[in-house]
Every structure is written in C-alpha cells, then in structure tokens.
Amino acid sequence: MRSQQHNFYDLIVVGGGSAGMAAAIHAAQGGKRVKVFDAAGPDFDKPCGEGLMPPAIQALQQLGVQIPEASSLSGVKYFVGRGQSAYAPFGRSHLAMGIRRRLLRQSMWLRAAELGVVIAETTADKVSVSHQSVCVNQDTADYLCIASGAHSRVLKDVGLRSSTRKKSQTQRFGLRRHVNLKPWSDCVEVYWRDHCELYVTPVSNKCVNIAILSWQPFQFDHILKLFPEVLAKIDGATWDDEASGRAPLLHRSSRVQSGRIFVAGDAALFLDAMTGEGNTLAIRSGMAVARAIMEGRPALYRWYWLQVVWRYWLLTAPVLLASRHLWMRNRLLNLVVGFPALLRIGVTFLSATPKR
C-alpha cells in the first residue's frame, strides 16, 4: 500500500556509482521501486585504474548491463626492475577487461533507467532514518543504501562512523590519467618503485589508462619520470585528460548494515586499489543489498557482504602491509619473481567467480 504512494519507494540509493547502480538495478530486476540520488550525473569520470576483474564482468552480465567498448585483458605482468618480470594469465574461461569508467557508468545508468529506476541528479542533502522508514530530501522508502563512495558525509548523517588513517605514513594516494595511444600489450602491467607503483591498463584500441599509487603525496608528471620504460612507450602521444585521483585510499564504515540502512562499495570498505578489485566489490556488494531486501532479511546483508569482501581482505591487507616498508617491498618483489606460482595464485584468487 505504502509503495503505491507517490514519493514512496522500496529502496532509496545515495550514490550512482558502481555500487549504487548495481543495488538499484538488481532491486528493480526483483520488481522493487527504486530511486537513486547522484548530482554528478551519468558522464562523471570517476578516477579509476579501469581494470575490471572476471567477477565484475560476470556480475554486470547478470545485471543485464551492456558492456561498453573495452579491451580484453589476458593477465597481469609485474616488472620489478633489473629487467625482471613475472606474468600470470587470467585463464581462458575468465574474462577480465579494461573499460573507460565513464562508459561503464553510462551503461549502468541506462540499464537502471530501462528497468524503471527513478534517478535524481541531485545531492542527497537531508537524510534521516526512523523505525518505520527512511527519508532522503522529499522522498521516503523502506530501505536506504549508502553507496556514496569513500569518505562519505552521508554515513555521519545517519549515525555511522567512518574511519580513515590520520597519519600520513599509513596513507596511500592514487592518481590516474589517460593517454591517447594504441595499447602495446593486452595485459595489466605493474611497475614497482621504492614508494610507488604504476599500473598500465589498455581500455580501448586507442587509449591506455595509467594509474599511480604511492605511499607519499605526489604530482603525476613528476613521479612519472621514475618510470623511464613507460615514458619511452608513451613518448609523442597526447594526454586525453588531466590527472585525477583520491587520497587517502583507505576507508571503512563502522557498520555495513543497521536497521533499514545498508552500506555498499567504497562507503563500506576500501583498503587499496592495488588488486583492481574496487569495482568488483562495489557491484557485488550492491547486488547483495538488493538480495537481502528481496529476501526480506536485511541483517543477512552482513553475511553476504563478508562473502563479497573476504578474498579482497585476505589478499590486499597483507600485501599492503608488506609494501609499506622498503625492505619488505623488496622481499615481496623477489618472492613474486622468484616464485611466479605465487602471482598465479593471486591472479586465480582475483579471477574466482562466485556462484551467485
């Protein structure tokens, strides 16, 4: 009865990124009335390395999202200096892709609109929650999904805490930039230096994404000089945009579900971008929100969310910790080159596609 009222929805989603749109689309697939708030619009180009791991591709197919122009990725190749490298393939049955983030976002917004999701290109300013319902601006719903990315103010508005590391030596910084160039390789290339890594991802047959993650604040053009082997490859090509990114990368919400509230994507947890799994977690956690709502058992989301993030946590947390100190970074790299099976295990972990 309530859901037939004009401004009443089953689910309101704050944030139209990968997590928010996955929640909206999946809930709409299940027949729910959904409204999404996001002022940035469908063309927002969220800074990202743009590598989509196989579970993300599988989830997008399940959502019926048209995969936009993209580059198939064959595997991951680590370059550790002194001409040494290690390679691990994704495997034939595991499709990974480099996709321009703006195109992915547009495809997800289109799919949501097709399914009747109402999208308001405005910020969620007034957010409140009671025992009976949730209220965002002028609209009311049974449930609220907060998918507004890392460092979201909305978490605070509903009484959830978000934690980030304050000390600069425990923070990571990330920037990305696109270069207009035919990719020279079909894998994600990772180049390591003392305090930073550079990730090369082909995203179309004429564009390459270059992302840099560092333990220190940096300027893109300045730090790029540390990677002469990459500079030589992009020599003479034009940049497609300015460098853009985020700091600090680490973010965690105090809870992922509380009463009528669900937290998905980076708003719930983001450790680091080094494994290229942010979108996988965002899309799959968004879908898990919809699943818990459709099953009428909101508290189950905590369990579903754990099922989504445990691999990421297990792989990223120790590697991140080890990469913080120079001598440990060097040991890690020697391990990767000395025992290529380790990298293969890591990539198999990234590729594992869940049953649902």
Ligand X SMILES: Cc1cc2nc3c(=O)[nH]c(=O)nc-3n(C[C@H](O)[C@H](O)[C@H](O)COP(=O)(O)OP(=O)(O)OC[C@H]3O[C@@H](n4cnc5c(N)ncnc54)[C@H](O)[C@@H]3O)c2cc1C
Tokens of 263: 């937290």
Angstrom distance (rounded) from CA 112 to CA 26 = 9
| List of residues 6+ apart from 251 with CB closer than 8 A | 150, 151, 162, 163, 164, 266, 267, 269, 270
315 is a site residue for ligand X (CB under 6 A): no
223 is a site residue for ligand X (CB under 6 A): no
Size of the site for ligand X (CB under 6 A): 42
**One of 55, 202, 248, 278 touching ligand X (CB under 6 A):** 278
Angstrom distance (rounded) from CA 190 to CA 76 = 7
182: buried, middle or exposed (CB in 10 Å: 19+, 13-18, 0-12)? Answer: exposed
**Cα separation of the two ends of the chain:** 31
Q: Which stretch binds ligand X (CB under 6 A): 36-44, 219-227, 232-240, 335-343?
A: 36-44
Q: Which stretch binds ligand X (CB under 6 A): 71-79, 255-263, 277-285, 296-304?
A: 277-285
**One of 42, 51, 183, 202 touching ligand X (CB under 6 A):** 51
* Residue 311 · residue 53 · CB < 8 Å: no
Q: Which amino acid is at 271?
A: L
Angstrom distance (rounded) from CA 297 to CA 293 = 6
279 is a site residue for ligand X (CB under 6 A): yes
260 is a site residue for ligand X (CB under 6 A): no
* Three-state DSSP class for residue 349: helix
H or E element at residue 11: strand 8-14
147 is a site residue for ligand X (CB under 6 A): yes
208 is a site residue for ligand X (CB under 6 A): no
19 is a site residue for ligand X (CB under 6 A): yes
50 is a site residue for ligand X (CB under 6 A): yes
Tokens of 134: 């949730």
| List of residues 6+ apart from 153 with CB closer than 8 A | none
309 is a site residue for ligand X (CB under 6 A): no
| List of residues 6+ apart from 29 with CB closer than 8 A | 63, 64, 115, 290
**One of 37, 191, 218, 227 touching ligand X (CB under 6 A):** 37
**One of 14, 129, 179, 243 touching ligand X (CB under 6 A):** 14
Q: Give whichever of 165 and 330 is closer to ligand X, judged by the CB atom.
A: 165
Angstrom distance (rounded) from CA 112 to CA 218 = 37
**One of 23, 73, 181, 211 touching ligand X (CB under 6 A):** 211
* Three-state DSSP class for residue 294: helix
- Kindly state the smallest distance separating residue 299's Cβ from ligand X, in Å: 21
270 is a site residue for ligand X (CB under 6 A): yes
Q: Which stretch binds ligand X (CB under 6 A): 1-9, 222-230, 267-275, 333-341?
A: 267-275
Residues 157-176 binding ligand X (CB under 6 A) are 174, 176
| List of residues 6+ apart from 250 with CB closer than 8 A | 164, 165, 170, 171, 172, 270, 271, 272
Q: Which stretch binds ligand X (CB under 6 A): 41-49, 106-114, 313-321, 327-335?
A: 41-49
55 is a site residue for ligand X (CB under 6 A): no
* Three-state DSSP class for residue 344: helix
**One of 123, 137, 330, 353 touching ligand X (CB under 6 A):** 123
Q: Give whichever of 75 and 278 is closer to ligand X, judged by the CB atom.
A: 278
- For 46, which DSSP code? -
320 is a site residue for ligand X (CB under 6 A): no
CA distances (Å), origin 79, targets 48, 86, 89, 189: 21, 7, 15, 7
- Kindly state the smallest distance separating residue 203's Cβ from ligand X, in Å: 10
**One of 24, 28, 154, 243 touching ligand X (CB under 6 A):** 154
312 is a site residue for ligand X (CB under 6 A): no
The residues that touch ligand X, with contacts defined as CB under 6 A, are: 14-20, 37-40, 44, 46-52, 123-124, 147-149, 152, 154, 174, 176, 211, 245-246, 265-267, 270, 273, 276-280, 282
